[in-house]
Every structure is written in structure tokens, then in C-alpha cells.
Structure 1
Amino acid sequence: MPALYRFHPPALMVLFADLASHARGQAKVFVGTAGSVLERSNADGFRFYAHQFYDGDGKKRERYVAGPIGAPEPDATARALRLAVAETKAATT
């Protein structure tokens, strides 16, 4: 019968604890990859921000973030999401 638990090297345990601590400190946690923030426009020419990422099943997803581009509030929302993406990528590389 295989062991239910096994020991890992201390360095791996420290790395996991660091990542877990970082995740607990976030207001939001990405499910899947952190992705990136893109600028999109619809058929009417409305320009908006979208978040493109791979979900937990490995499927490429895209979700609306805010718009229109150039307005203070949507720009601030996109800037905050870009910062969260960059922090997550820095913590995982």
C-alpha cells in the first residue's frame, strides 16, 4: 500500500510556505495562470480592458475588466489588475 504522506526536502517546504503565505495575503487569488490585461474593442468601437488567462482546467479564458479605456476609474482598475498579475508572476518565477 503506498504511503499517504511523504516528506519533502526542507527547501521545497519553505518555498511552498512562502507561496501559501503570499496567496493568503492577496485580496484575490487567480485560479489558473495570472494571465495578462489586454485592450479590446467591440463591433461598435467601444474600447475596454479584458483579462486573458488559462483556468484551472488549462482552457484559455477571457473576461471583461472595465471600460471605456481612457476613463479614470477603468484605467485605475486595469492598472491594479496589472500590478496583481505582475506580483503573482514574480512570486511564481
Structure 2
Amino acid sequence: MPFHPLCFAPLHFGLKYKYIQIKRERKNMPYVTVQMLEGRTDDQKKALIAKVTDAVVETTGAKKEKVVVFVEDIDKRYYGVGGKRLID
């Protein structure tokens, strides 16, 4: 699945690759949305936010305090691959 190199960056979490979309807003304020299947702990999400923030700072030169990270849990009932839900 091809992605524009300036819009998506792959992240590896265990067995699955997840993709984050980076949106550049005015005044160099990157907004990052991470969508992943539910089940991660609060500590894992905290570490994810810290590492994504560091990666955005390193690659874009944005100031750390300007980086905004959203973590969205996706319910497995509403996620399907190959025509089947993951829980089926």
C-alpha cells in the first residue's frame, strides 16, 4: 500500500506495522494522529506519545512543545481485514 512519503511514517509495534499521519499546520505545529487497535496500556500510550514526539522533533525540526499527538483506540468490532472483522 503506497503512501506519500511526506504524509505517512511507519512505526513498528511488535508484530504489526502501524502508520501515522502527520499534518503540518501553520507556525510549524505538527499534529500527529496514531490509530491502533485497542488493548494497549496507559504506560504504552505514554511511551508512544513521547517517542512519536521525539521522532517528529528530530525529523522536522519542530519545537517539542509545539508537537501534538493524538492516540485513537479502534474497537476490534469495527476493524476488518479481507472482508472479516478481526474478532470474528
Mark yes or no: TM-score above 0.5: no
Higher relative contact order (CA 8 A, sep 6+): 2
Question: TM-score w.r.t. structure 2 length?
Answer: 0.30
- Rg larger in structure: 1
Question: TM-score w.r.t. structure 1 length?
Answer: 0.28
